[in-house]
Amino acid sequence: MIELYTWTTPNGEKPAIMLEECGLDYDLRLVDISTGQQKESGFLAINPNGRIPAIVDREAGEGHRVFESGAILVHLAEKTGRFLAASGPARSEAFAWTFFQAGGTGPMIGQIHYFKNAEERSDFAIRRFERESERLLGVLDARLSQADYLAGDYSIADMMNWSWARSGLRDLDAASRFPALAAWVERVGARPAVKAALARLQDAKLAAAERASNA
């Protein structure tokens, strides 16, 4: 059994999508980052960085933890032999776009959210991160104007980038400026496994809120 510790954020959606795509059974355990559960000792034992997502793959050995979303996707791809080429250019391309997201769209679009909701508003910071996010979305759009998926075939690269690209297009009202990217967001979002992952996360969040209100 795989235990998934996550929340309903772009980073938190990635491993749920991968688990659903691979058809793996998993125990979904929500970590409510709005209340600081990610900083509690139990979760820090799984991810010392105190960030979601993380998994414990008990099929791979007692206490086999994997944290950081990119590392989780690679672990699951190698575990199942799916969504990541075993060797060659396609594998390198998938890694390139996977790390592009980890160092690019996630941090940049995340900063837009932070500064727009900060107690002390900084228009300079917002403009700076909006411009960089738009540049990165343009890189994705250019690639997807040439290929249906980032690494050729549908892969962990697409699962890694999808949630943040969707968030960026929405937050920047940029779908019309990046039509190839917008079409890819819609195409990936229509996959049954993606729909199932998002629905399971939302259902679990609603159930947790209902339990809390009845406590």
pLDDT tens readout for residues 109-132: 999 888 888 888 898 999 999 999
Query: In the chain, where are the structural domains located?
Result: 2-82+193-214, 89-190
Domain 2-82+193-214 fold? Glutaredoxin (3.40.30)
pLDDT at 59: 86
pLDDT tens readout for residues 23-47: 999 999 999 999 999 999 999 999 9
Q: What percent of the chain has pLDDT over 70?
A: 100
pLDDT at 67: 98
- How much is the average pLDDT of 141-163? 98
pTM of the model: 0.95
The CA distance from 168 to 181, in Å, is 11
pLDDT at 195: 98
Q: Give 158's pLDDT tier (boundaries 50, 70, 90).
A: very high
pLDDT tens readout for residues 177-205: 999 999 999 999 999 999 999 999 999 99
Q: Is the domain 89-190 a CATH 3.40.640.10 member?
A: no
Going by their DSSP bridges, the two strands 26-30 and 65-67 should be labelled as unpaired
- How much is the average pLDDT of 86-107? 97
With beta carbons less than 8 A apart as the criterion, state whether 160 and 14 touch: yes
The CA distance from 18 to 66, in Å, is 14
